[in-house]
Amino acid sequence: MGTGVAQSLPHSSAAAPVEVPGKLWQRCFVPVDIAWLAVFRIAFGGLLLYEILKGITGGWVYKLFIAPKFHFTYYGFDWVQPLPGVGMYVLFGLLGLAALGIMLGCWYRLSAVTFCLGFTYVFLLEATEYLNHFYLICLLSLLMLLVPANGAFSVDAWRKAAMRSDTTPAWTLWLLRAQISIAYFFGGIAKLNGDWLRGEPLRTWLAARTDFPVLGRWFTEEWMVYLFSYGGLLIDLLAIPLLLWKRTRVIGFVVVLAFNLMNARLFSIGIFPWLMIGASLLFFSPNWPRRFGIGRRAGASRVTAPRAPLALGGKQCALLAFIACHLVWQCLMPLRHFLYPGNVNWTEEGHYFSWHMKLRDKQARAEFLVTDPAQQKTWRVDPRQDLTRTQASIMARQPELIRQFAHFLAAEYGREGLAKVEVRAEVLASLNGRPAQLLVDPRVNLAAEPASLEHQRWIEPLQSLERKGK
């Protein structure tokens, strides 16, 4: 049977067993067929390997982590910096090997730990490269550490009989289902805003894609704009209920499949649609791969629950506590933007880690004024002189990144002997087709503003509520 924290009921434990309180907790450790988990491991590892190889061959390692002279960071992680020299290439090589190990189930635990830590480190290196599917990969790679995904269809199970298992505890299935459900649900909740319900930014994006096969001819029609807007909203909110209910599961899968294939064709969002398509298979019966002849063995698909009452040891209690804390945190994080005043798509406060996917079309241009009060001199700085094209474009849209760049400029001028310069920003931004307006207060010395989770009062409120021309 499988080993590690995912083994359902070890007979030896330092702590005395605790009676399982109620049927819900008992069901968490009821064994289910492991076939679903093995297939998901293979698909997940394959997608990870593709993403890493694309990063290496596409020159991303150099362009994103070596070439830039400055890296934007997340709150509390400014100490995370790229490895020197060829270190980033070595890291991506290790990530590729770890992804291959996950896919094959070879030295699975070591591979999973290596990938989780390494990819999360890479994710934290550059905030301008934030993508929801990168965040989802970090979360899923963490959860995959907990489950015995190498118990079947793996090199580990082939080389060591003790690792083989036909079953896995039910909590492994529901944990991954819950994580995917959170992404869908809060992605739908985020669409319940005025702009999306008015058809923006899809109206703008669809108008630029009239070359889309078959449907493109209608992309400038209002009925098509609202069909996409409200259709996407309903799919995000209803996909999981449709997949959970057996009677609508096939319909739900077809809807999710079509939705993600459309997203893959319309937008450049990497492996995200394919990851979500693969994850939707988690909602089918755990033995679904065996019904298609994958790993079929006599009696392998017949899993029965133990008749005796289950009891939890200390490890199982700790595991359930961790899972509960993780899921509660995942449900609270997407709601934190309600604690801030203003439109989150404008202020960006609470945007990260909240499943706000494809909700805004934001155009901005920033210039910085560096003033030396002692000499009464001011220099106008174009951020493109110090940042890559992508960094400069994304930085200009996000007030926190504007503040970080102001601190970078102050440090740069300080190294030239000007220790007390002031840095102000002139940023004009347009959200979802609105007329351009000031994003930050040009009178505020941003070099003196500290990093904070509190609302930044130097962010100018969004004034215009209507799209240009409406």
Number of residues that this document lists for the chain: 470
Which of these three, 284, 319, 336, is where a domain ends? 336
**Domain match, 240 and 368 both:** no
Residues 398, 293, single domain; the answer is no
pLDDT at 13: 38
- Structural domain total, the chain: 2
Residue 349 lies in a domain: no
* The dihedral formed by the CA atoms of 344, 347, 353 and 358, expressed in degrees to the nearest 10: 60
pLDDT per residue over 100-123, tens digit each? 999 999 999 999 999 999 999 999
**CA separation for the pair 257, 244 (Å, rounded):** 15
The predicted-structure confidence for 42-95, as pLDDT tens digits, reads as follows: 999 999 999 999 999 988 999 999 999 999 999 999 999 999 989 999 999 999
Residues 286 and 368 in one domain: no
Residue 358: partners with Cβ closer than 8 Å, 6 or more residues away: 201, 267, 269
Q: Indicate if the alpha-carbon torsion angle 413, 414, 418, 422 is positive or negative.
A: positive
Residue 186 lies in a domain: yes
- Provide the 8-state DSSP code for 45: H
The average pLDDT across 155-176 equals: 94
Contact 427, 366 (CB under 8 A): yes
Residues 330 and 373 in one domain: no
Reported as type and span, the H/E element at residue 365 is: strand 362-372
Q: Are residues 202 and 76 in the same domain?
A: yes
Q: Who contacts 335 (Cβ-Cβ below 8 Å, separation ≥6)? A: 354
Q: In the block, which residue shows the tokens 């293979």?
A: 42
Residue 141 Rama label (left phi>0; alpha psi -120 to 50; beta):
alpha
Nearest CA to 98 out of 145, 161, 135 is that of: 145
Per-residue confidence (pLDDT) for residue 6, from 0 to 100: 40
Question: Whole-angstrom distance between the N-terminal and C-terminal Cα of the chain?
Answer: 64
C-alpha–C-alpha distance, residues 54 and 50, integer Å: 6
Q: Are residues 328 and 411 in the same domain?
A: no
Q: Is the distance from CB of 337 to CB of 350 less than 8 angstroms?
A: yes
What's the rounded Cα separation, in Å, for the pair 383 and 193? 32
Distances (CA, A) of 262 to 235, 258, 277, 362, 424: 13, 6, 12, 22, 42
Together in a domain, 256 and 295: yes
Domain membership of residue 7 (yes or no) is no
Res. 468 pLDDT band, cuts 50 70 90: very low
Decide: 348 and 398 in contact? Cβ < 8 Å.
yes
**pTM score > 0.85 for this model?**
yes
Q: Residue 464: which pLDDT band, with cuts at 50, 70 and 90?
A: low
**Using one digit for the tens of pLDDT, what is the confidence trace for 385-406?**
999 999 999 999 999 999 999 9
128 lies in the same domain as 197: yes
Q: DSSP character for 376?
A: T
Q: Are residues 329 and 374 in the same domain?
A: no
The pLDDT of residue 305: 52
Instruction: Note the pLDDT of residue 465.
Output: 57
Please give the backbone phi and psi of residue 402, each rounded to the nearest 5 degrees, phi first: -60, -45
Claim to verify: residue 238 and residue 153 sit in the same structural domain? yes
Residue 39 within a domain = yes
HSE on the CB side for 284, CA within 13 Å? 22
d(CA 90, CA 291): 41
Residue located via tokens 């319940």: 192
Contact 41, 144 (CB under 8 A): yes
Please indicate, yes or no, if residue 419 is contained in any of the structural domains: yes
Distance separating alpha carbons of residues 211 and 456, to the nearest angstrom: 42
Does residue 152 share a domain with residue 240? yes
Q: Which of 136, 214, 224, 237 is nearest to 179 (CA)?
A: 136
Residue 425 near residue 442 (C-beta atoms within 8 A): yes
Q: For 15, which DSSP code?
A: S
Is residue 356 a part of any domain in this protein? no
* 201/161 same-domain check: yes
C-alpha closest to that of 456 among 366, 340, 346: 340
CB atoms within 10 A of CB 151: 28
For residue 271, the enclosing domain spans: 18-336
